[in-house]
Amino acid sequence: MFKIKNLRTVPRLLILMLDLSLVINSGLFAYFIRFNFNTKAFASYEIFPSVLMLSLHIFVWMLLTKTYAGIVRNTGIEDIQRLAGLFVGSYISYISINQFFDNLGFVSDWFMPNSVALIGVLLAFILLLAFRMLVKYFFQFMKGSKNTITKKRIVIYGAGDVGTMAYQVFENNVLSDYQPIAFIDDDNLKSGKRLFGKRIYHDLHGLKQLLDTGSISQVVIAIAEISKLKKKAILDLCAQYQVTCKLIPPPKDWVDSELSLNDVRPVKVEDLLGREEIKLSNEKIEFSIIGKVVLVTGAAGSIGSEISRQLIKYKPKLLILLDQSESPLYDLEQELKGQFESVSRKIVLCDIRDKSKLRKIFDKYRPNILFHAAAYKHVPMMEQFPEEAIETNIFGTKNLADLAVDFDLDKFVMVSTDKAVNPTNVMGASKRLAEMYVQAYGNYLEFQYVAGFTKFITTRFGNVLGSNGSVLPLFKKQLESGGPLTVTDKEITRYFMTIPEACQLVLEASIMGNGGEIFVFDMGEPVKIYDLAKSFIELSGKRLGEDIDIVFTGLRPGEKLFEELFNDYEKILPTYHKKINIAQVMPEDLISLQSHLQILEGMLFKKSKEVLVDMLSELVPGFTSSSYPRKNKLEDY
């Protein structure tokens, strides 16, 4: 008597017995087919012994090939190939044994004629395959009919290889809540044809036809390589009909090159930017990083942490992660430790305003390259505390730049912001003055003919999606709390990029720069924050004005309505990468700038905020604070 624990083997045994019964019946029926159902023609043959002999022969091959071991309801190409191999092998060996006995002069009635055996084997193959297909489609039918009403009727956008695999995953997976009803493809030759019995509609017009029916609950984009513009057009159309949209990533991102339900992901806001993602040179970056001691400041921040993640892949000799925030720094170190155990890392808890401690760190580890991402970036906060922005963004940068020269670093790569362009706030002005200092220092060293001088390189880009303090985390919190979403002004626009893109730019700049450049990323067209908020609501499955509202709060102190990527007095130069330009401006005189910074440093925490911003306005061309009206000039100090 079988125990419960042995129930697993019962189906295999049953399948084996069913297969054997089909083989026996195939052998019997083969005689009828061979002799055109004329029973008198094969009356002289030993039918039952010969059928039993063939069946036993095939049975042995079944045991060898384990054709009974598969899950019948999931029969696929490999199972069919195994069945074909079973019958080809069994037939060849059967006639070989028969011929062997014939050569010995031993003729047995227990061997059927080769022609009958061939028909029997082919018939058995057809019946076993039909049995498996019948079981498979029966289970699919039962699964499809079960909870059909509750399943999501979806359209697969893409009738190529990825779309085909997506359909099979949705149809064959028991856990799938999807019921594909149609395909969309932009290939005119496929339009109107059918795939898996489902009609293929043509491009956006076909998608609109289906959405007009009101029966589609979801669209799944299943195209290996799709442009951002095409993706945005699909998403915009889905948003109009308030239909959710999901994406299947390219095959290179699938686990073990197979697609699963887990790979189907919701659309992210960055998919709506309408700009192609920038891909940069990995080989050159690796050559410049491998075997070097690399220091990253602000390593626990959103930009610094991603720079660190990308750097460690290129196997530096030592990666130094420096930040003043202990918990995120610890978390980053644990993350990198788990993924890159072989690469040496060192976490350093330090404030870049502490020059004496920084000097000890430089002296101990002797870095070759420095990526400077530490900064205060929150515009309204820095308007309230200009002294903090000045001390960190300006003098923290100055500390690092001075030490980079003292310790002969190869490169100093600074992360800046588009808010440094024609600044109207303290944060932007402080970053612009930091740009001016490192550029002036690099220019000074070059024209002093200092051997092996440190190359100072600046990267400037706009807002980064998902970074600390950016608009998306704010929208997410507001959405979770029931809204409303807050936007300062309906017309406010910003340039956006993803965190990985921003960090790729920084790494590319580290190999592209010869010193003194300010690299600016071509970020495409600016995006209205109001449009971004609407898309965020739509992607969350909610309705603007019904489920959640958007309210306008007015521009905050120091905030611009439109951001820029170049100052009015900067000349734009191209580089070998069409998406990266150089903002060229005449560098400041280092000695004069150091003298003025010495005055500004002496005023910190001694003078009023108005006085500090006055001094900043005097030092940064084009900066006029909207929060602190001008009172004095540089010569008054």
Rounded to the nearest 10 degrees, the angle between the axes of helix 9-34 and helix 114-145 is 130
Checking if the pLDDT of 586 tops 90, the result is no
Mean pLDDT, rounded, for 76-95? 78
Higher pLDDT, 190 or 34: 190
Contact 179, 154 (CB under 8 A): yes
Checking if the pLDDT of 370 tops 90, the result is yes
Vertex 272: Cα angle to 266 and 275 (nearest 5): 130
Vertex 364: Cα angle to 359 and 369 (nearest 5): 75
How are beta strands 178-185 and 198-202 bridged, if at all? parallel
The residue to which tokens 């192609």 are assigned = 276
The residue to which tokens 């890392």 are assigned = 345
pLDDT given for residue 365 in this prediction: 96
The answer to whether the bond into 484 is cis (omega within 30° of 0) is yes
How far apart are the C-alpha atoms of 586 and 439, rounded to whole Å?
9
pLDDT given for residue 421 in this prediction: 87
Domain architecture of the chain: domains with CATH: 4-144 (no CATH), 152-267 (3.40.50.720), 287-605 (3.40.50.720)
Mean pLDDT, rounded, for 12-25? 81
Choose the weakest-confidence range: 156-160, 292-296, 605-609: 605-609
Query: Nearest to residue 295, comparing CAs of 512, 510, 497?
Result: 510
Measure CA of the first residue to CA of the last residue in the chain; give whole Å.
101
Computed over its alpha carbons, how large is the radius of gyration of the chain? 36
Model confidence pLDDT, tens digit, residues 474-509: 888 888 888 899 998 988 888 777 888 888 888 988
pLDDT given for residue 13 in this prediction: 76
Vertex 136: Cα angle to 133 and 142 (nearest 5): 135
Contact 418, 462 (CB under 8 A): yes
Catalytic residue IDs? 419
Checking if the pLDDT of 2 tops 50, the result is no
Model confidence pLDDT, tens digit, residues 243-289: 888 888 777 666 555 666 666 777 766 666 655 566 665 778 888 89
Residue type, 450: V
Confidence of residue 9 (pLDDT cuts 50, 70, 90): very low
Q: Quick one: CA dihedral 293, 298, 304, 309, positive or negative?
A: positive
420-433 burial, b at 16+ Cβ within 10 Å, e below that, comes to bbbbbbbbbbbbbb
- Most distant CA pair in the chain: distance in Å? 126
Rounded to the nearest 10 degrees, the angle between the axes of helix 426-447 and helix 397-406 is 20
Encode 125-157 in three state secondary structure. HHHHHHHHHHHHHHHHHHHHHCCCCCCEEEEEE
Helix (H, G, I), strand (E, B) or coil at 482: coil
Checking if the pLDDT of 361 tops 70, the result is yes
Contact 516, 446 (CB under 8 A): yes
How far apart are the C-alpha atoms of 538 and 533, rounded to whole Å?
9
Percent of the residues in the chain that have a pLDDT greater than 90, as a whole number: 29
Mean pLDDT, rounded, for 378-407? 95
Q: CA 7: distance to chain centroid?
A: 43
The DSSP code sequence of 365-376 is H--SEEEE----
Which distant-in-sequence residues (6+ apart) come within 8 Å of 270 by Cβ? 465, 466, 496, 498
